[in-house]
Amino acid sequence: MRLFNFDMENNKSVIYNLSLDDLLPFNTDFSLLYRLIKAFPGIKINIFIPIQGRSYRGMRNILDYPAWCEKVQKLPKKNIEFGLHGWFHHLNDSKSTPEFANLSQKEAAQLLKRCENALERAEIPFSRGFRPPGWIMSKGSYEACKELEYVYIADNASCYPYSEYEDIRIPRIFVNRDLAYERIIRPFYQSALYFPDRAKYCFQYGHFTSKAKNNFNESNLRKIVRIIKSLPQVDFRFLSELGAEMRLRGWSILPTQIREMQCLQSE
Ligand SMILES: [Zn+2]
């Protein structure tokens, strides 16, 4: 396997991934996904599915929508990879706490397994990758991901207190481009430590829900196309592939690297 096969001299190749959160029956525009795939037949998109979502609380979950599940199953596997994104996404408390914000390892492992089981029953294939709902997760949740041998966590560097990260070894992949803004976001959020030159990767992210500014709509689709076309040469990757490569290299994040990242942020 070739790892991060950049042409360091000429900067010809850019690793690209698009990740989209909150795929649910009421907010899926499959036609936009197919248009993007038609424009870039080699594109690799990671989609994170909550099983029920907070808007559905007390109502139905994805298993109650078999026709929708069938459409999800039919999305081309060479282009789409699914990952986990919680059950309810947020708790139904006064602060609307993200679902994995305070869980112990045992609680988080149970919830992840429950979500996996629901995806299996829905016959939606997934890789063991996790994006914490609300981009927040407890230390126990990290430990649960490690226990269950998750391939990667797609969070951001602010999700977890650095000082307590020392004993956790799991690839974390940070996005660096918001769909709505196009610009490269501040170094704090970049995978600069995994990828020696941040100009050489582009991880765009957004949502399916129209409540988010960076939702996957017509105008943001055009932005995605514009950005990919602007890259000199694209190397599309799934997050699971990047996670596996990072693991292979022992590139799980180290405490010293976390400290470097803090320095980057304060620059
Ligand atoms: Zn979400």
Lowest-confidence segment of 76-80, 100-104, 126-130, 183-187 by average pLDDT = 183-187
Burial class of residue 253, CB neighbours in 10 A (0-12, 13-18, 19+): buried
Asked if residue 240 lies in contact with residue 51, where contact means CB atoms within 8 angstroms, the answer is no
Q: What pLDDT does 172 receive?
A: 80
Q: What pLDDT does 74 receive?
A: 96
78 Cα to the center of ligand 1, angstroms:
23
7 is a domain residue: no
Question: Is the per-residue pLDDT at 153 higher than 80?
Answer: yes
pTM of the model: 0.86
Domain containing 120 equals 14-266
11 Cα to the center of ligand 1, angstroms:
33
Q: What pLDDT does 149 receive?
A: 93
104 is a domain residue: yes
Question: For residues 251 and 14, which has the higher predicted lDDT (pLDDT)?
Answer: 14
70 Cα to the center of ligand 1, angstroms:
22
5 is a domain residue: no
215 Cα to the center of ligand 1, angstroms:
11
pLDDT category at 218 given cuts 50, 70, 90 is very high
Q: What pLDDT does 256 receive?
A: 52
101 is a domain residue: yes
> What is the mean predicted confidence (pLDDT) over 92-105?
91
Question: Is the per-residue pLDDT at 41 higher than 80?
Answer: yes
> What is the mean predicted confidence (pLDDT) over 53-76?
87
Average pLDDT, the chain: 81
List CB contacts of 193: < 8 A, sequence separation 6 or more. 253, 257, 260, 261
Question: Is the per-residue pLDDT at 262 higher than 70?
Answer: no
Q: How would you write the chain as a 3-class SS string?
A: CCCCCCCCCCCCCEEEEEEEECCCHHHCCHHHHHHHHHHCCCCCEEEEECCCCHHHCCCCCHHHCHHHHHHHHHCCCCCEEEEECCCCCECCCCCCCECCCCCCHHHHHHHHHHHHHHHHHCCCCCCCEECCHHHCCCHHHHHHHHHCCCCEECCCHHHCCHHHCCCCCCCECCCCEECCCCCECCHHHCCCCCCCCHHHEEEEEEECCCCCCCECCHHHHHHHHHHHHHCCCEEECCHHHHHHHHHHCCCCCCHHHHHHHHHHHHC
230 is a domain residue: yes
Q: What pLDDT does 264 receive?
A: 45
6 Cα to the center of ligand 1, angstroms:
31
129 Cα to the center of ligand 1, angstroms:
14
pLDDT category at 173 given cuts 50, 70, 90 is confident
Question: For residues 245 and 215, which has the higher predicted lDDT (pLDDT)?
Answer: 215
CB atoms within 10 A of CB 68: 17
Question: Is the per-residue pLDDT at 58 higher than 80?
Answer: no
Q: What pLDDT does 267 receive?
A: 37
3 is a domain residue: no
1 is a domain residue: no
Nearest-angstrom CA–CA distance, 237 and 201:
10
Q: What is the CA angle 232-20-86, rounded to 5?
A: 145
> What is the mean predicted confidence (pLDDT) over 114-135?
96
In 3D, which of 154, 196, 200 has the Cα closest to residue 174? 154
Lowest-confidence segment of 18-32, 94-108, 192-206 by average pLDDT = 192-206
Q: What pLDDT does 191 receive?
A: 43
Q: How many CA atoms lie within 13 A of 59 on its CB side?
A: 10
36 is a domain residue: yes
90 Cα to the center of ligand 1, angstroms:
9
Question: Percent of the chain, pLDDT > 70?
Answer: 75
23 Cα to the center of ligand 1, angstroms:
8
89 Cα to the center of ligand 1, angstroms:
6
Question: Is the per-residue pLDDT at 188 higher than 50?
Answer: no
What phi and psi values does residue 85 have, to the nearest 5 degrees? -150, 35
Domain count, the chain: 1
Domain of 172, CATH number, reads 3.20.20.370
158 Cα to the center of ligand 1, angstroms:
16
Asked if residue 237 lies in contact with residue 17, where contact means CB atoms within 8 angstroms, the answer is yes
